[in-house]
């Protein structure tokens, strides 16, 4: 069926509705010059388009374009000529990481929805849009999140649910305005503690993943109001098995230098030792001034948080003698039954790196 | 297990009250053509204290969802699902519209001894049924799971079990119409891993098409 002006429900306020018209192509010629200039929003969703006509650029004042629910395998290069385009919805098509034009990153988009396509990677062009506030790539085939995601400094919403993602890069924590992070229905085994830097995070969706515990740092997300965790194999009881092995001589020396503030200078030590000393982690126990390098003790505390009962939160202590820090979150249990019933020599030991 | 035996009878004994032959003759089979018509029919049915669950389910199912009629109630929130009151049923029931964004889901919850009817107005929802937890601290037992399609109506009450409702789609939102009789303001949520319960207060995102301020500031869902 051909497109012509009469067929479309033209509301006369810059909105052209060509949706659900069984279109196989977009014939721009049949739209008058005036209509093309006026058009701010175009709905082309739910048709049979296999490609987007390059003449789309003739709608040069376009701000909103919906091409969802078509059969698109690529988006034409000429779309980058739509300098005023702010919202592009292209969900439920047949797009992959090779479908986007090279200069796609030059668009000043604020909202981009590519959910329900065939992306196996987040294309680099998507990480170049500095005005992007909302990025949706749900229901694709993504295996990972590129560290370049941190370039999207305006991002508030990141929807990556329903993919094959196995890990969250720490760079996600560098998005200063992120309020809604959706990672449900993936294959994530752990949440990086760096996510604690996401001050503005309001909602975190982690349901249907492979999490057994969460980092204790999650309690620092003071603005977090929604947290979904169903369908994760979260531990209900912390299993204590192994005995504690003492730290190495290198570690003991490193700990002494750091905790006693013994001065050292770059010309005094070989590079490898300088690097090692930089890796010191402060013991999370506020009463302990100690540090640890590779040898620490893993401990799980069960805490009520965000409407959830007894979340297993993992934290690390520098030694079994170091008592577990009190939680700063008033919602948490004052004591966990696990802490009191476990003799110190049975706490599990974890080697980092 | 559900609350007091007396209260339990409320949803139980009204569950299946078959009509007599005379009643069947008198009753016209009215198919609501609009949402307003559906509401009017529901008002009439609920004048009586006895409810025929099958009848209500059938009538709700026969209304063909027309977005133009309910869009004004369907106010959504990007962070979680919303509850939007449509009609207070003369105190006999609450009729509300729930808007579910992509991935949004509820906790496992009960229905405080009331009838619950849920109709899909747009999109699809996944309903997972659970047994009531026993007194031991253990993982809750899942009974069944199904996907409800547009215009379908599901029914549940405490004697049937508990359920979790979720929108499993990553590309489409969903909208559902819920009828609860008698109306209730609190319910229990359940932790799937342990059966632990919490009583939560239920709030409305909007009433009669007007956005109403949200009372609780912290999410009470265990999802």
Distance in Å, alpha carbon of B154 to nearest chain A alpha carbon: 22
Contact B193 A205 (CB under 8 A): no
Partner-chain residue, chosen from A116, A205, A230, that has the shortest CB–CB distance to B192 = A230
Look up residue B5 and give its DSSP letter: H
pLDDT tens series, chain A, 353 aa: 444 544 455 556 899 999 999 999 998 888 999 999 999 999 999 999 999 999 999 999 999 999 999 999 999 999 999 999 999 999 999 999 999 999 999 999 999 999 999 999 999 999 999 999 999 999 999 999 999 999 999 999 999 999 999 999 999 999 999 999 999 999 999 999 999 999 999 999 999 999 999 998 899 998 999 999 999 999 887 766 555 677 899 999 999 999 889 999 999 999 999 999 988 888 877 777 788 887 877 788 888 888 788 899 988 778 777 766 544 433 333 334 343 333 333 333 333 32
User: What is the rounded CA–CA span in Å between residue B203 and residue B88?
Assistant: 14
Residue found by looking up tokens 């969460």 in the block? A214
Mutate to test the interface with A, among B67, B81, B103 (most CBs of A within 10 A): B103
Mean pLDDT, rounded, for B93-114: 97
pTM given for the model? 0.84
Long-range contacts of A252-255 (CB under 8 A, 24+ apart): A254/A280, A254/A291, A254/A293, A255/A280, A255/A290, A255/A291, A255/A292, A255/A293, A255/A318
- Confidence bin at B49 (pLDDT 50/70/90): confident
Tokens, residue B4: 């007091």
Segment 239-298 of chain A within 8 Å of chain B by CB: none
Q: Look at residues A264, A244, A268 and name the one whose alpha carbon lies nearest to residue A256.
A: A264
Q: Within 13 A of A121's CA, how many CA atoms are on the CB side?
A: 11
A34 φ/ψ angles, rounded to the nearest 5 degrees: -65, -45
User: What is the rounded CA–CA span in Å between residue A228 and residue B221?
Assistant: 9
A161 to chain B, any CB pair closer than 8 A? The answer is yes
Which H or E element spans position B87?
Answer: strand B82-87
Mean pLDDT, rounded, for B106-133: 97
Give residue ranges of B with CB < 8 Å to any A CB.
78-80, 102-103, 105, 107, 137, 139, 164, 168-171, 189, 191-194, 196, 198, 217-223
Q: What are B21-44's pLDDT values in tens digits?
A: 555 555 566 899 999 999 999 999
**Closest residue on chain B to A161 (Cα):** B170
Do A102 and A77 meet the contact criterion of CB atoms below 8 Å apart? yes
Mutate to test the interface with B, among A92, A212, A308 (most CBs of B within 10 A): A308
User: What is the rounded CA–CA span in Å between residue B149 and residue A338?
Assistant: 45
Tokens, residue A197: 């830097």
Point out which residues pair with B97 in neighbouring strands. B84, B177
**pLDDT value of position B28:** 61
Do B39 and B87 meet the contact criterion of CB atoms below 8 Å apart? yes
Point out which residues pair with B218 in neighbouring strands. none
Tokens, residue A183: 């990672």
- Confidence bin at B7 (pLDDT 50/70/90): very low
User: What is the rounded CA–CA span in Å between residue A28 and residue A4?
Assistant: 8
A115 to chain B, any CB pair closer than 8 A? The answer is yes
- Confidence bin at B92 (pLDDT 50/70/90): very high
Judging contacts by C-beta atoms under 8 Å, the chain A residues touching residue B76 are none
Contact A116 B171 (CB under 8 A): yes
**pLDDT value of position A325:** 56
Contact A180 B79 (CB under 8 A): yes
Partner-chain residue, chosen from B102, B192, B194, that has the shortest CB–CB distance to A161 = B102
Contact B103 A207 (CB under 8 A): yes
**Closest residue on chain A to B108 (Cα):** A230
Across A53-125, where does the E strand assignment appear? 64-66, 87-89, 111-113
Segment 90-109 of chain A within 8 Å of chain B by CB: 91-92
| Plot region of A277 (φ>0 → left; ψ -120 to 50 → alpha; else → beta) | alpha
Tokens, residue A129: 């849009």
A312 to chain B, any CB pair closer than 8 A? The answer is no
Point out which residues pair with A334 in neighbouring strands. none
Q: What is the 3-state secondary structure (H, E, C) of B90-104?
A: HHCCEEEEEEECCCC
């Amino acid at each position: 069926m051909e497109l012509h002006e009469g067929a479309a429900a033209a509301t006369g306020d810059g909105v052209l509705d060509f949706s659900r018209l069984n279109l196989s192509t977009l014939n721009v010629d049949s739209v008058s010059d005036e209509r093309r200039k006026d058009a701010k929003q175009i709905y082309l969703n739910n048709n049979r388009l296999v490609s987007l006509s390059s003449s789309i650029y003739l709608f040069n004042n376009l701000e909103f374009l919906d091409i969802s629910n078509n059969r698109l395998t690529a988006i034409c290069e000429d779309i980058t000529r739509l300098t005023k385009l702010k919202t592009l919805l292209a969900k439920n098509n047949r797009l992959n990481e090779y479908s986007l034009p090279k200069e796609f990153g030059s668009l000043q988009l604020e909202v981009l929805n590519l959910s329900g396509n065939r992306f196996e990677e987040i294309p680099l062009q998507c990480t170049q849009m500095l005005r992007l506030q909302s990025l949706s790539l749900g229901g694709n085939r993504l295996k990972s999140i590129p560290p370049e995601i941190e370039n999207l400094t305006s991002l508030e919403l990141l929807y990556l649910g329903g993919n094959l993602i196995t890990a969250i890069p720490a760079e996600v924590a560098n998005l200063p305005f992120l309020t809604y992070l959706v990672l449900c229905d993936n294959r994530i085994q752990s949440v990086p503690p760096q996510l604690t830097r996401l001050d503005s995070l309001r909602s975190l969706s982690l349901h249907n993943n492979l999490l057994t515990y969460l980092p204790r740092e999650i309690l620092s997300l003071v603005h977090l109001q929604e947290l979904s965790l169903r369908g994760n194999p979260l531990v209900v009881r912390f299993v204590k098995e192994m005995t504690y092995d003492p730290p190495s001589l290198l570690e003991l020396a490193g700990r002494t230098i750091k905790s006693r503030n013994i001065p050292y200078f770059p010309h005094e030590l070989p590079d490898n030792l300088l690097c090692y000393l930089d890796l010191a982690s402060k013991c999370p126990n506020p009463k302990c001034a100690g540090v640890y390098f590779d040898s620490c003790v893993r401990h799980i505390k069960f805490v009520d948080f965000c409407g959830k009962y007894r979340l297993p939160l993992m934290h690390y202590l520098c030694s079994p003698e170091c008592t577990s820090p009190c939680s700063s979150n008033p919602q948490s249990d004052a004591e966990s039954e696990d802490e009191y019933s476990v003799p110190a020599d049975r706490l599990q030991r974890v080697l980092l790196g | 297990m559900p609350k007091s035996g007396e209260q339990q009878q409320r949803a139980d004994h009204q569950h299946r009250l078959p009509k007599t032959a005379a009643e069947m003759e008198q009753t016209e089979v009215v198919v609501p053509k609009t949402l307003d018509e559906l509401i009017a029919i529901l008002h009439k049915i609920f004048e009586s204290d006895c409810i025929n669950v099958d009848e209500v389910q059938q009538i709700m199912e026969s209304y063909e969802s027309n977005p133009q009629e309910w869009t004004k109630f369907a106010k959504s929130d990007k962070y979680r699902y919303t509850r939007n009151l449509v009609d207070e049923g003369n105190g006999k029931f609450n009729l509300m519209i729930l808007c579910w964004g992509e991935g949004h889901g509820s906790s496992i919850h009960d229905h405080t001894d009331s009838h619950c009817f849920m109709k899909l107005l747009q999109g699809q929802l996944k309903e997972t049924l659970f047994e009531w937890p026993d007194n031991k601290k253990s993982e809750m037992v899942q009974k069944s799971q199904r996907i409800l399609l547009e215009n379908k109506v599901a029914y549940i009450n405490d004697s049937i079990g508990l359920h979790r409702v979720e929108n499993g789609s990553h590309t489409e939102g969903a909208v559902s119409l819920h009828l609860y009789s008698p109306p209730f303001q609190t319910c229990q949520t359940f932790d799937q891993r342990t059966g632990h319960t919490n009583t939560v207060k239920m709030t409305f995102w909007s009433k009669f098409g007007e956005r109403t301020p949200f009372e609780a500031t912290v999410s009470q869902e265990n999802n």
